[in-house]
Amino acid sequence: MMTPLIFITNDDGYYSKGIKALISVAREVGDVVVVAPMMNSSGLAHSLTSSRPLRVHTISEIEGCRIYACDGTPVDCIKLGVEHFCQRKPDLLLSGINHGSNSSINVLYSGTMGAAIEGAVMGIPAVGFSLLNHSPEADFGPSLPFVRQIVGKVLDKRLPEGVALNVNIPDTRGEKINGMRLCRQSKAQWLDSYEKRIDPQGRPYYWLTGRFECEDVGEDTDQWALENGYVSVVPTTTDFTAYEVLREWQ
Amino acid sequence: MMTPLIFITNDDGYYSKGIKALISVAREVGDVVVVAPMMNSSGLAHSLTSSRPLRVHTISEIEGCRIYACDGTPVDCIKLGVEHFCQRKPDLLLSGINHGSNSSINVLYSGTMGAAIEGAVMGIPAVGFSLLNHSPEADFGPSLPFVRQIVGKVLDKRLPEGVALNVNIPDTRGEKINGMRLCRQSKAQWLDSYEKRIDPQGRPYYWLTGRFECEDVGEDTDQWALENGYVSVVPTTTDFTAYEVLREWQ
């Protein structure tokens, strides 16, 4: 059997601790090509760069693992990286491990999941991983057995067309993780989103802030899983059609 | 009855012809607040600005119509604009009219639709409009009766929770538009996406380009509607869960 080719990106930047953890797992089972953003690109969702050209810098090239940094978004990294920096179509696309949650409504804003969803658009089995800890020094050790298990399973079974996995991992700080659960995306929103400040010239400016509000915490949701010490796995679609509404209206 | 409050944004910039067309229709039926990007923000999808604060500039303030320009993304404009530049929660959120298509897979990359989907997250009935003509001088005249009809209907009936409308309008260049059709999002992708060039110093750079490939053109799709001279209306969800796959796996 041919060695699997695994493509990796993230949205925290190619130098972050989370992507290094993901690379370490991927190298156990395949050849790895990394094209990841030069800089932190959190919150860039599915955005593309069209107003300027992109540059790519070689970070390291060793047998079985090539790492490049691109000055674009996570989705740019996938599209450009797969087309120009892979000899063949990858067998698997991994994004993350993100420093911070991409559960619930956060999937909409997430660069990590933007990249994974783009993988699904391109017909590559794709998984986004996130750990519920924002710290640059977060401990990814307890996540790795779950990452390893999912990577093995998706390499083996692939994924349905147009579907990526959104995997969030609770930060249990030493407590055992209870296992994995298949979930739906919880409904939620961010409230009180902007803090107004006045600059030294007396002019206003606005910082993004806000608090996460989620009242949809039934046992079938990703929020429930994470709050109860489980890894949440949400199959995530590239088709945004609201089919239930479409059927009702027709 | 209270005069409706209509919030408007776009992704082409506050000065574009398409947003002016949308403002003209909205002013016929309500008070209007516009918070739109300072600059062209095409392809920014659902991205948020968190690494720097936002600034907002007053463009004009007249009775019943206030226009502001924000140096953030379309989603920033919605979130900040509704929170800090509206006296009350808007009754309707409109995004566009975009210069260019947001049908099919383009909804994933679209700043116009990112803004509309954010409206749905915030519980505001929201519609994104796009005309299939990229020109800054595109003729929005033939679109207006359809925009007017949809605005009236959504103000009257509202929309289901968590659902925005993705409305695309064919550019029939003088031919009559055949009507409106409820559709699902067509499956498609962009191929050959980047053109590699060499700069005067001999270093490579990559421009986004590519061609749209769509083989999913059944009569229930937005691509079919547009290719046959109809306005396409796709109910679009904020819930990315792939429910069919979830049910199958459980």
Q: What is the pLDDT of residues B189-221, one digit of tens each?
A: 999 889 999 999 999 999 999 899 999 999 999
| Whole-number average pLDDT of chain B | 96
Residue A152: per-residue pLDDT: 98
CA distance B137 to chain A (A): 19
B180 touches chain A (CB under 8 A): no
The mean per-residue pLDDT over the stretch B13-36 comes to 98
B84 touches chain A (CB under 8 A): yes
Please report, for residues B29, B139, B142, B149, the alpha-carbon distance to residue B25 in angstroms, rounded to integers and kept in the order given: 7, 15, 13, 10
pLDDT digits (tens, 9 = 90+) for A43-73: 999 999 999 999 999 999 999 999 999 999 9
The mean per-residue pLDDT over the stretch A103-112 comes to 97
Residue B10: per-residue pLDDT: 98
Q: Which of A88, A184, A166, A40 is nearest to B239 (CA)?
A: A184
Flag whether B69 is in a domain: yes
Residue A37 banded pLDDT, cuts 50, 70, 90:
very high
Please report, for residues A143, A162, A234, the alpha-carbon distance to residue A231 in angstroms, rounded to integers and kept in the order given: 9, 22, 10
Q: Name the residue in chain A with its Cα closest to that of B184.
A: A241
Flag whether B191 is in a domain: no
Q: What is the count of residue pairs from A and B with beta carbons less than 8 Å apart? A: 205
Residue B15: per-residue pLDDT: 97
- Would you say residue A76 has pLDDT above 90? yes
H or E element at residue A171? none
B237–A56 C-beta distance less than 8 A:
no
Contacts of residue A118 in chain B, CB cutoff 8 Å?
108
pLDDT digits (tens, 9 = 90+) for A119-167: 999 999 999 999 999 999 999 999 999 999 999 999 999 999 999 999 9
Q: How many CA atoms lie within 13 Å of B6's alpha carbon, on the beta-carbon side?
A: 24
CB atoms within 10 A of CB A128: 32
Residue A228: per-residue pLDDT: 97
Residue B250: per-residue pLDDT: 87
Residues of chain A by 3-state class (helix, strand, coil), percent to 5: 30, 30, 40
The mean per-residue pLDDT over the stretch B3-12 comes to 98
Residue B192 three-state SS: coil
Flag whether B208 is in a domain: no
Q: Which of B64, B66, B88 is nearest to B14 (CA)?
A: B66
Nearest Cβ partner of B45 from A114, A241, A249?
A114
Structure ipTM:
0.95
H or E element at residue B35? strand B31-37
Residue A206: per-residue pLDDT: 97
Token couple for B172: 């029939």
- Would you say residue B1 has pLDDT above 80? no
Residue B174 banded pLDDT, cuts 50, 70, 90:
confident
Residue A174: per-residue pLDDT: 83
pLDDT digits (tens, 9 = 90+) for B56-73: 999 999 999 999 999 999
First-to-last alpha carbon distance for chain B, in angstroms, is 49
Q: Which residue has the tokens 């003509």?
A: B133
Peptide bond into B78 cis (omega under 30): no
Q: How far apart are CA A217 and CA B209, in angstroms?
A: 42
Residues 86-145 of A with CB under 8 A from B: 105, 107-109, 111, 114, 117-118, 121-123
Q: Are strands B56-62 and B65-70 parallel, antiparallel or unpaired?
A: antiparallel
Percentage of residues of chain B with pLDDT beyond 90: 96
Query: Structure pTM?
Result: 0.96
Residue A192: per-residue pLDDT: 82
Q: Are strands B92-99 and B5-9 parallel, antiparallel or unpaired?
A: parallel
Residue B133 three-state SS: coil
The mean per-residue pLDDT over the stretch A17-39 comes to 98
Residues β-bridged to residue A179: A230
Question: Which residues, 6 or more positions from A230, have their beta carbon under 8 angstroms from its beta carbon?
Answer: A170, A177, A178, A179, A180, A181
Nearest Cβ partner of B46 from A109, A166, A187?
A109
Residue A250: per-residue pLDDT: 87
Residue A62: per-residue pLDDT: 95
CA distance B217 to chain A (A): 15
Q: How far apart are CA A134 and CA A172, in angstroms?
A: 14
Contacts of residue A182 in chain B, CB cutoff 8 Å?
246, 249-250
CB atoms within 10 A of CB A176: 8
| Whole-number average pLDDT of chain A | 96
Q: What does R_g of chain B's alpha carbons equal in angstroms?
A: 18
The mean per-residue pLDDT over the stretch A206-218 comes to 94
Q: CATH number of the domain that A18 lies in?
A: 3.40.1210.10
Residue B13 backbone zone (phi > 0: left; psi -120 to 50: alpha; other: beta): left
Flag whether B136 is in a domain: yes
Q: How many domains does chain B have?
A: 1
Amino acid, res. A14: Y
Residue B235 three-state SS: strand
Flag whether B221 is in a domain: yes
Q: Which residues of A65-93 are buried (b: 16+ CB within 10 A; e: fewer)?
A: bbbbbbbbbbbbbbbbbbbbbeeeebbbb
Flag whether A232 is in a domain: yes
pLDDT digits (tens, 9 = 90+) for B213-245: 999 999 999 999 999 999 999 999 999 999 999
Q: What are phi and psi of A233, to 5 degrees?
A: -125, 110
Please report, for residues A60, A78, A186, B198, the alpha-carbon distance to residue A83 in angstroms, rounded to integers and kept in the order given: 19, 8, 34, 17
Contacts of residue B182 in chain A, CB cutoff 8 Å?
246, 249-250
Residue A51: per-residue pLDDT: 93
Maximum distance among all alpha carbons in chain A?
A: 66
Q: How far apart are CA B75 and CA A160, in angstroms?
A: 30
pLDDT digits (tens, 9 = 90+) for A219-243: 999 999 999 999 999 999 999 999 9
- Would you say residue A1 has pLDDT above 80? no
pLDDT digits (tens, 9 = 90+) for B126-170: 999 999 999 999 999 999 999 999 999 999 999 999 999 999 999
Query: B168: domain range?
Result: 5-184+217-249
Residue A19 banded pLDDT, cuts 50, 70, 90:
very high
Flag whether A85 is in a domain: yes
CB atoms within 10 A of CB B55: 15
